[in-house]
Amino acid sequence: MKNILTLIIITVFFSCVEGNKPIKESENPSQSKSDTISSKIPVLNFATFHMGKTSDANSTEFDENDRKNQQDAKRIAEMISKFKPTIICVEYPTEKDSILQNEYKKFLKNPSEPVSWYGEIGLVAFPLAQMNGLKKIYGIDHKMSYNYRIAREIENEIDSITVNNYYENPFKDHPEIDADMDSLNLLEKLKLMNHPKFLDFLIVVNADILAYAGTEGNFEGADEAAKYYQRNLRIYSNLNRIPMTNDDRVFILSGGSHTAFLREFFERSPKYEMVDTFQYLD
């Protein structure tokens, strides 16, 4: 016990002294230092917007039935195919696995014909799996609701100034990721969404900013943020239920905020190591 307490004290001390080192502008934006994998399982953790109907608070204009959009999505799948995944995971509930497998089997009967089932799953994940000869796709999503509007619905007695200023201009500290998504083509959108600073932004705007909101003696904002952390931890737990070996290569396609949280878990994982997403977006 004494040794454990000593380790904790040392860890806290150095975290206070060193702080966070800024990302150098000269570094290529990526989710990992290298694609050189030793004994860990390589993971391509890929952020996307939902290319179809979604219940998300924010959505991107994208007609999943447009032929050009379908062709662009397939080209993204072809780029990612260079990663040669052996396991593909998507943002789809684990309890609906039979539906996911049936839809994929339907696609395999005529893979030359694009399908927009569940948006990005049909447009990107299905052709990617077919290109790599995979018989199964894994859904790892876990649905949980949380009130992301809580900071605006309560009498905020923690720090309303920070919250209001942030919502007024959430991109103030990161102008490089402030873009009109609808003016970008598909590849440009995905490059922006996979930028490390954009992923950091998604964690703040979806969860961390809520910790500045609450009434006297209560934690309404923090408790709602905790629900979103919990949902993503459960998604991570679902991933860990999939049998895999060090010979596997895992591709995960999910909404950007889930990618952002998973990135945090992967960076500390004793099992996985992220590859550079941008190596597969050229």
CA-based nearest residue to 277, from 24, 83, 78, 140: 83
Rounded distance between C-alpha atoms, residue 36 and residue 141, angstroms: 28
pLDDT score of 62: 81
Residue 77 · residue 44 · CB < 8 Å: no
CA-based nearest residue to 196, from 43, 50, 20, 32: 32
Integer angstrom CA distances of residue 115 from 102, 110, 252 = 13, 10, 19
Which residue is associated with the tokens 């593909």? Answer: 88
What pTM, to 2 d.p., does this model score?
A: 0.84
pLDDT tens series, the chain, 282 aa = 444 433 333 333 333 333 343 334 334 454 444 444 469 999 999 999 999 765 454 555 788 889 999 999 999 999 999 999 999 999 999 999 999 999 999 999 999 998 999 999 999 999 999 999 999 999 999 999 999 999 999 999 999 999 999 999 999 988 989 999 889 999 999 999 999 999 999 999 999 999 999 999 999 999 999 999 999 999 999 999 999 999 999 999 999 999 999 999 999 999 999 999 999 998
**Domain map (residue ranges) of the chain:** 62-280
The one-letter amino acid at 153: E
Residue 121 structure tokens:
């799953």
CA-based nearest residue to 280, from 84, 147, 146, 16: 84
> Three-state DSSP class for 177?
helix
Rounded distance between C-alpha atoms, residue 208 and residue 67, angstroms: 39
pLDDT score of 167: 96
- Cα of first residue to Cα of last residue in the chain, in angstroms, is 51
pLDDT score of 22: 38
Residue 218 · residue 55 · CB < 8 Å: no
Helix 256-267 vs helix 220-240: angle between axes, to the nearest 10 degrees?
A: 70
pLDDT score of 33: 46
